[in-house]
Amino acid sequence: MIPVAFDYEKVKTVEEAIAALSGDDLKILAGGHSLIPAMKLRLSRPGKLIDIGGITALKDIKEEDGEIVIGAGATHADIMYHNLIRTHLPFFTEGAATIGDMQVRNWGTIGGSLAHADPAADWPAMVLAADATIEMQGVKGRRNIKATEFFTGLFATVLEPNELITAVRIAIPPDGTKSTYQKFAQPASRFALAACAVMRFPDGRTNIAFTGVGDHAFRDTGAEQAISGKAIDDASVEAAMLAALQNVDVMSDHYASEPYRRHLSKVYLKKALMAVKS
């Protein structure tokens, strides 16, 4: 399992990365824990890798103007162990701890996970439930886009080929907000066979996102409408489970059939709602 030959350039700043990305047949290399396996399997054959792993500015996790800003180069472990995250977004701490194994968590980055858009990856559901904004920069300049508009299909996003994710921004939730990430993991890879992220605000608004279920992670507006503003009890949870996954093309593969995955997703929605119950 050896990739085809490729050129390699290591950059130290975002500006250097943008300049390097102006060519053709390039791929950004971050933690390498999705890209390198894909290259070894010859599913990806870039002519050149631009390694952004040395850009220290992309690793920052900070509070800025009422938002938590997570640099795209922060690893799963950086996020998992960060106090700001534990305080304001405890479900990110919980969810990061479920990603792969220690080696994957120490190398893989949030930016790489979002850009790769694996249908079973964990960060997409968490950033959707947090109503995050994704910050990007490319040869044409900067732009910000809501996570709800970022994922477009199987391994597909709105990112342009020569564009870099620089950060994920999340408004600091009001005191009393509860959040959880509930995942049924594939026992070997730890990717989600079905997982549900929920953020419940003190006024009852409830954001619900799934991953591992369809061809990309998504917010479930049907389930959100069924539970938002209502007390979480047996009847409202039942209503949310009934309303969930309407018009969703649920995946079927050798790990889980479509009916089994649909059932599992609703069970994990129930677990998530019970976890944020006051």
Q: Is 246 in the site for ligand FAD (CB under 6 A)?
A: no
H, E, C per residue of the chain: CCCCCCEEEECCCHHHHHHHCCCCCEEEECCCCCHHHHHHCCCCCCCEEEECCCCHHHHCEEEECCEEEEECCCEHHHHHCCHHHHHHCHHHHHHHCCCCCHHHHHHCEHHHHHHHCCCCCCHHHHHHHCCCEEEEEECCEEEEEEHHHCEEECCEECCCCCEEEEEEEEECCCCCCEEEEEEEECCCCCCEEEEEEEEECCCCCEEEEEECCCCCCEECHHHHHHHCCCCCCHHHHHHHHHHCCCCCCCCCCCCCCHHHHHHHHHHHHHHHHHHCCC
Among 99, 134, 240, 272, binds ligand FAD (CB under 6 A): 99
Closest approach of ligand FAD to the CB of residue 78, in Å = 11
The residue range among 8-16, 101-109, 146-154, 228-236 that interacts with ligand FAD, by the rule CB under 6 A, is: 101-109
- Residue 234, judged by CB atoms within 10 A of its CB (0-12, 13-18, 19+), counts as exposed
Q: Is 29 in the site for ligand FAD (CB under 6 A)?
A: yes
Closest approach of ligand FAD to the CB of residue 134, in Å = 10
Task: Residue 31: name the closest of 52, 49, 46 by CA.
Answer: 52
Among 152, 189, 246, 252, binds ligand FAD (CB under 6 A): 189
Choice between 78 and 241, CB closer to ligand FAD: 78
CA 218 from centroid of its chain's CA atoms: 10
Sign of the C-alpha dihedral computed for residues 152, 190, 68 and 203 taken in this order: positive
Closest approach of ligand FAD to the CB of residue 177, in Å = 23
Q: Is 33 in the site for ligand FAD (CB under 6 A)?
A: yes
Site for ligand FAD in 108-167 (CB under 6 A): 108-109, 111-113, 115-116, 118, 121-122, 159, 164-165
Choice between 165 and 223, CB closer to ligand FAD: 165
Closest approach of ligand FAD to the CB of residue 257, in Å = 21
Task: Residue 120: name the closest of 30, 184, 172 by CA.
Answer: 184
The residue range among 168-176, 188-196, 223-231, 245-253 that interacts with ligand FAD, by the rule CB under 6 A, is: 188-196
Number of residues that bind ligand FAD (CB under 6 A): 31
Choice between 166 and 207, CB closer to ligand FAD: 166
CA 120 from centroid of its chain's CA atoms: 9
The residue range among 139-147, 189-197, 222-230, 259-267 that interacts with ligand FAD, by the rule CB under 6 A, is: 189-197
Closest approach of ligand FAD to the CB of residue 166, in Å = 7
Q: Is 273 in the site for ligand FAD (CB under 6 A)?
A: no
Choice between 99 and 199, CB closer to ligand FAD: 99
Closest approach of ligand FAD to the CB of residue 39, in Å = 9
Query: Using CB under 6 A as the criterion, which residues of the chain lie in contact with ligand FAD when the complex forms?
Result: 27-35, 37, 72, 99-100, 104, 107-109, 111-113, 115-116, 118, 121-122, 159, 164-165, 189-191
